[in-house]
Chain A
């Protein structure tokens, strides 16, 4: 399974756009890239998933370059409630085994 690398922590202010980049140099052809969000004392929650190019939903955008060796989660106009840990995952097509790294702890300040 491809290993991922992302910043340990990031700080931002309310109303700013936040971009969290994840490196996954060994991504396999059939791997999807998925991001989860985890608030304290809760289980992780799916945010967005993509395979290539750009994916956008009501919560975030995911940018994936052509070589797919990295991906960037973009959170528009963050609020205090976006303070959480964000995990980038790259999983195989079978089994759904998700390997969670340390994640990025995002702190949004007023």
Chain B
């Protein structure tokens, strides 16, 4: 079956604009995760969903960041009033369930550049 897909693959925007990043997880995976990776850095956890609920939003950097998931499927990460420090690769992953012993399958990421 298909893996995790993300769109767009690249996004260039101007400072102050809003952006939406989309993630399509593997069918049947109840858990979905968002991470951010700055150039040359490790991954930074942002938020995860179990079903359509987000029990842990602790990683969201500011209130400009929000995410939702519908139908226990697609998820959207929204960044409002983008800043240059938001430039990074945003990675989505999914797993069968939300625990650390279930393998997380990662998508190819969305590279966001804020000018």
Q: Does A42 sit within 8 A of B, measured CB to CB?
A: yes
Q: Of the listed stretches B14-22, B63-71, B74-82, B101-109, name the one at the interface; the rest are far from the partner chain.
A: B101-109
A17 vs B22: C-alpha distance when bound (angstroms): 40
Q: Does B100 sit within 8 A of A, measured CB to CB?
A: yes
A96 vs B100: C-alpha distance when bound (angstroms): 4
A95 lies within 8 A of B48 (CB): yes
A94 lies within 8 A of B106 (CB): no
User: Per-residue 0/1 for B80-115: is the Cβ within 8 Å of any A Cβ (1 yes, 0 no)?
Assistant: 000000000001010101111111111111000000
Q: Does B55 sit within 8 A of A, measured CB to CB?
A: yes
Q: Which of A58-74 contact B (CB under 8 A)?
A: none
CB contacts between A and B, total, < 8 Å: 75
A40 to chain B, nearest CB (A): 11
Q: Does A99 sit within 8 A of B, measured CB to CB?
A: yes
Selected from B48, B50, B55, B106, the residue in CB contact (under 8 A) with A45 is: B106
> B residues within 8 A CB of A94?
98-99
A: residues with CB less than 8 A from B are 31-32, 34, 41-46, 49, 87, 89-103
Q: A100-B44, A102-B42 are in contact. List 11 more A-B contacts (CB 8 A).
A: A31-B100, A43-B107, A87-B42, A92-B100, A94-B98, A95-B100, A96-B33, A97-B48, A98-B33, A98-B45, A98-B100
